[in-house]
Amino acid sequence: MTTLDARGPGRAMPSDLPPWRAPEALFPDTRIDYVDRWPSIAAARAALEDQRPSTCGAYAARYLLGPLGFPVHAGIPTTREDYLAFLAGTVLETWEDGPARATREEVRSLGLDDAAAAARFPQAWYGWDLRSTADPAVAGTAPAGTARTVSLASDGALVTLPIAARRLEGSVLLTPPRWEALLDFIAADGPRLGLHPIVNYQSDELLNPVTDAYSAAALTAPDPEALIPLDSWGVGHFAGVGAIWRPADGRRWLLLVDTYRNRGFAGFQPQPAELVRRGLVRSDGREGGVLLAMPRESLDETAAAAAAMGLEARMWSNGSLDPERWTWSLGQ
C-alpha cells in the first residue's frame, strides 16, 4: 500500500541530545540497546529528505546500505531513492506516475543527463521506469521488494529473514510471548549478529507521533496510551528499528526510524513495543511482519533462533504488488 505524508508539528527534544538518542533523553536511567552501527545509521537517516509517496519500503534500505558497507551499487549511490525503488519493484499511483513521465519528457527535451535531472527535479525525477496503477490498494512497496533491494544492492552480502505476524491461514503467530522472545534476542544478540529489523505495520495501532499530545511528558507518564491518541493515518508503513529498551515500570519500547521528519522527534519515534506488535498483527485484513536484514554469515543462527521461538520465516503480503521475476527464499 502506498504511504502518504501525514503533516504535523515538529517537537523539541527534552534535552540537548540529538533526536536519534531520544531513548536516553526520555529514559536517562535505563539501559538502551541500540542496533549495530547505530550512530552511522542515524546520521545517514538524518541527512535524507522525506520519502516519496510510494517508496517507504525501499526507503528503509537507504540509510542502512551505506553504513553497512554498501554505499554504491553498479556505480549508483545506494542513497538514490528512485534506484532503490526500481530494485524493489515499487508501484507508483497514477497521480504520481503522470508527473514523473512528464518530467522525463522535459528532461529529454532539455538534454539533461541523469545527475542534472536529479538535481533539478529531486522529487519528480525517476531515473528508472517503475510500474504504475490506478488502484491504491496495490501501489507502494511490497516486503518482498524491500528484501530484493537489500539483497541486490549488496550483491548478496546482506540477506533478510522475514517473520510474518500471522500464519498463512490467518491466526496470530506473533503473540506477546513470542514477540518478547524475539525482542530479547535482537537486544542481546542483534549487535553481534548485525541484525537490523524493519517493521511493516498498520499505523493506526500505534501512538500518534504528529499530535501535540505526543510529548516527552506523555511518553514517560505511567500510562502514555491514556494521554496520547492512536494514529489516524490509515496506512500500512515501513520503519526501521534503532533501539530496544525497558524502563523500570516493565513496559518495553522501540525506537522507530520513520521516513518522515515530522513523525516523532525529527523522524525518530519512540513507541511502546506492544503497540508495535499489534500494528504488525494488523486488524485491517492485510498482513504485517518483521524483516530482519543481516550479513549472510548471521542467517543460520538467526533462523534457528526464530524457529526455536515458534516463529515462521515466511514472506507476507501487505497488498502491494511483489517485484517481478524475483521470489524470496532463505538465503536471499
What does the alpha-carbon distance between residue 32 and residue 255 come to, in Å, rounded to a whole number? 10
Residue 5 pLDDT > 90:
no
Write the pLDDT tens digit of every residue in 58-107: 999 999 999 999 999 999 999 999 999 999 999 999 999 999 999 999 99
What pairs with residue 202 in β-bridges? 236
> Would the pLDDT of 108 be above 80?
yes
Distance CA 160, CA 313 (A): 10
Q: What is the CA radius of gyration of the chain?
A: 19
- Measured between alpha carbons, how far is 260 from 48 in angstroms, rounded to an integer? 10
Nearest Cα neighbor of 273 from 173, 178, 154 is: 178
Which residues on adjacent β-strands are paired with residue 201?
237
> Which pLDDT value is given to residue 1?
39
11-20, 66-75, 130-139, 286-295: least confidently modelled range = 11-20
Q: Is the pLDDT of residue 9 over 60?
A: no
**pLDDT of 3 above 50:** no
- Beta-strand pair 236-245/32-34: antiparallel
d(CA 269, CA 275): 13
Q: What is the mean pLDDT of the chain?
A: 95
pTM of the model: 0.95
Cβ distance 89 to 133 under 8 Å?
no
Q: Give the CB-side neighbour count of residue 89, counting CA atoms within 13 A.
A: 17
- Strand-pair category, 91-93 with 253-257: unpaired
Q: What is the pLDDT of residues 199-250, one digit of tens each?
A: 999 999 999 999 999 999 999 999 999 999 999 999 999 999 999 999 999 9
Q: Which residues are CB-neighbours of 113 under 8 A, at least 6 positions away?
A: none
Percent of the chain whose predicted confidence (pLDDT) is above 70: 97
Question: Rounded to the nearest 10 degrees, how much is the dihedral formed by the CA atoms of 168, 172, 176, 181?
Answer: -20
Q: Give the mean pLDDT of 298-306.
A: 98
Across the strands, what pairs with 269?
256
pLDDT for the residue numbered 8? 44
Q: Residue 133 phi/psi, 5° resolution?
A: -155, 155
Find the range with the poorest average confidence among 10-19, 32-41, 59-68.
10-19
Residue type, 133: T
Model pLDDT, residue 10:
59
Is a pLDDT exceeding 60 seen at residue 152? yes
Closest CA to 92 of 58, 55, 117: 55
CB atoms within 10 A of CB 118: 17
Q: Grid coordinates representing 272?
A: 511502546
Burial (Cβ within 10 Å: 0-12, 13-18, ≥19) of residue 304:
exposed
pLDDT in tens, 242-282: 999 999 999 999 999 999 999 999 999 999 999 999 999 99
